[in-house]
A and B are shown apart, each in its own frame.
Chain A
């Protein structure tokens, strides 16, 4: 099995007056594990349905493996979909489910059964072949769905939030499993999720969507370290945010007047002095002033509470009308309440100017 490249050219989807997907250009490379990340209702499923062929784009072209398949139905496309609900056939046994695509292609029963057994072995379900889907656990059902989709030897596998029904432990286990299956088969995966953890953990590249628009396409590291837009910056990971006006810009460093004081950070994009802007600092980049080299960015705060998350802890502070937090290794005790000085390095802060309307 080999993956195919997917190219969307000016693809746009409208439902009546609603535009679900704005005109979009996107190239997904062959054999890539590509995630589409975005909040609910941003158009992820719609975009995936355009790739699968269940939905014709209002405008634009869909090219799979270099061929224009815009007008081709889902059965004829070299894609296979894994549905959010899995959509296993409850009246069929597990192996019949897996073999259904081959049955539709007129493959004889013996071959079908052998092939289904191979695929079930691939997803470690060989001994469950004769059961019904309802007799399996959530994770096992998930793997049946994967095996069923792989049975038709697709070049592209489309997954619509396939792990959302599973509990946390199983979800983490299945992430690794999915990634391994993708490596082994070389199939292009398009993986939809609104869970950034999933996207960051599994993907080669991620597209972040908001309101029908792709905001940024980047590797997980690139996305986290250098978000291109304030939406991406706040949607992926967490941010401490201060709003203010740009007082000065000097060689890529913007200085803001904010209610918390005068703060500076790297300016992302273009802006002029006097513009409204937001400064963002990731919680793991914020520290107690006493623990870091002196910086111009200091804040007076009062300790509010500590949220323990196992190996790490989140310290929440009250600032003048805002709450900021520090994300650090678990120190094993709650700090004393009272005023403290917080600080961050200028290169650890990002400044996004508000789009001029």
Chain B
């Protein structure tokens, strides 16, 4: 396309310029600056100087010299005292300079923050990615039928009811929502109480099912927390499907399964990709849900590790490195999903 952009044509130069300025400002402030700071932070560390031992020896030697000089000065004739005083001051300054060098670590750039990740931390990192992928898969399996139900309900009211019901929980803060879920899954939570009412378990004899002690609780919590981000992209994609394609498939004798596999899912692919990417990123980066639901019993999520690097260990460099590692892993996931589904960026914004 040549000539002025649509923006200029519709709103005029001044307004278009304001828009572009806003976009530019937004990009700089909210995208570029934080990421660049984080990457920079992750690439340096404070290091004790390498020649620290030699320095200590040198300082010791200078201290010896100093004591000798002080003794000399006590015995020296008056005309030589001034020269000795100058030398003493000189030596003292040198000692001070070397001492600061000895105790003050230096800022050193290098990849060590990444490469020195301990085995345990690397394991948590990989496990978090695997669990996030699993959460995504579960969300995909749970949300596709919901999105289908909403898109193919036939009646507008049914669609509205399904979508509203999905949205309502999001009016509540994520933390509170997660606590609500905790109350459902707790030892004496809603599910266990209901089961004891039916008579399947006896709460008083400690037969409560320990949902919260297994990773399943975290998966369920994450899926619960992020369904919307999976359902809406899929729903949007399905909504744009010409319904007569489904009828045509049926008319040609295709089973429901084949219709989904060959007609509906290929059409919904961009939605499936966008939903998967969002849920993966959100669950890999989730802090509250695994923290609240596993309560330390189900093993750490990588985000908890990052949190501790920042706020307990006060090692912002390692914290940044871990954050950037997670970011890179997410980007790799995005690329992977786009490759697998053969969906381009342009398809996603469709």
Residues of A whose CB lies within 8 Å of any CB of B are 52, 54, 73-75, 79-81, 83-85, 87-92, 100-101, 103-105, 148-149, 151-152
CB distance from B268 to the nearest CB of A (A): 11
CA distance A103 to B255 in the complex (A): 11
Closest-by-CB residue of A relative to B258 is: A104
Pairs across A and B, CB under 8 Å, 9 listed: A75-B252, A83-B248, A84-B244, A87-B242, A88-B245, A100-B254, A103-B254, A103-B258, A148-B252
- Name the B residues within 8 Å of A148 (CB-CB): 248, 252
A88 to B247, CA, bound (A): 11
Nearest CB to that of A49 among chain B residues? Answer: B247
B262 lies within 8 A of chain A by Cβ: yes
Please report which residues of chain B, range 202-261, place their CB below 8 angstroms from some CB of chain A when the two chains form the complex: 242, 244-245, 247-255, 258
Interface of B is mostly: helix
Residues of B within 8 A of A84 (CB): 244
Q: If A87-B242, A89-B263, A91-B267 touch, does A81 touch B254 (CB 8 Å cutoff)?
A: no
In this assembly, does B266 line the interface, its C-beta being within 8 Å of a C-beta of chain A? yes
Distance, CA A152 to CA B245, complexed state (A): 16
Are B248 and A81 in contact, CB atoms less than 8 angstroms apart?
Answer: yes
Residues of A within 8 Å of B245, CB to CB, are 87-89
Given the interface pairs A85-B242, A85-B244, A87-B244, the reply to whether A80 lies near B251 with Cβ below 8 Å is: yes
List A contacts of B244 (CB < 8 A): 83-85, 87
Known: A80-B252, A83-B244, A100-B252. 11 other contacts (CB 8 A): A54-B247, A80-B251, A88-B245, A89-B245, A90-B267, A91-B266, A91-B267, A104-B252, A104-B254, A105-B253, A151-B252
Across-interface contacts of B242 in A (CB, < 8 A) = 85, 87
CA–CA, A316 and B216, complex, Å: 81
Which listed residue, B253, B255, B263, B267, touches A101 by the CB 8 Å rule? B253
* Minimum Cβ distance to chain B for residue A2 (Å): 19
Question: How close is A75's CB to chain B, nearest CB, in angstroms?
Answer: 4
Residues in B297-316 with C-beta less than 8 Å from chain A: none
How far does the alpha carbon of A122 sit from the alpha carbon of B267 in the complex, in Å? 29
Q: How far is the CA of A38 from the CA of B244 in the complex (A)?
A: 22
List the B side residues contacting A74 at CB < 8 Å: 247, 250-251
> Are B253's CB and A104's CB within 8 A?
yes
Min Cβ gap B334→A in Å is 22
Nearest Cβ on chain A to B147's Cβ, whole angstroms: 18
Which single member of B251, B255, B266 contacts A81 (CB below 8 Å)?
Answer: B251
Point out the residues of chain B lying under 8 angstroms from A152, CB to CB: 252-253
- Which of chain A's residues has its CB closest to B267's CB? A91
CA–CA, A52 and B244, complex, Å: 13
Residues of chain B within 8 A (CB-CB) of A52 are 251
- A276 to chain B minimum Cβ distance, whole angstroms, is 45
B252 touches A101 (CB 8 A): yes
Contacts of B248 in A (CB 8 A): 81, 83, 87, 89, 148
Q: Which residues of B contact A73 (CB under 8 A)?
A: 250
CB contact between B247 and one of A87, A92, A104 (< 8 Å): that residue = A87
Within 8 A of A (CB), among B90-140: none
Partner of A100 from the list B247, B249, B255 (CB cut-off 8 Å) is B249
By a CB distance below 8 angstroms, the chain A residues around B263 are 89, 91
Q: How far is the CB of B350 from chain A (nearest CB, A)?
A: 13
B319 to chain A, nearest CB (A): 45
Q: What CA separation (Å) do A75 and B250 show in the bound complex?
A: 6
Q: Please state if B266 and A75 are interface contacts (CB–CB under 8 Å).
A: no
In angstroms, Cα B248 to Cα A89, docked, is 9
Q: Chain A residues with Cβ under 8 A from B252's Cβ?
A: 75, 80, 100-101, 104, 148-149, 151-152
> CA A152 – CA B253 in complex, angstroms?
9
How far apart are the CA atoms of A11 and B296 in the complex, in Å?
68
Task: Name the contact of A104 in the complex, choosing from B255, B266, B267 (C-beta under 8 A).
Answer: B255
The smallest beta-carbon distance between B320 and chain A, in angstroms, is: 43
Nearest CB of chain B from residue A85's CB, rounded to whole Å: 5
Smallest CB gap from A91: residue in B:
B266
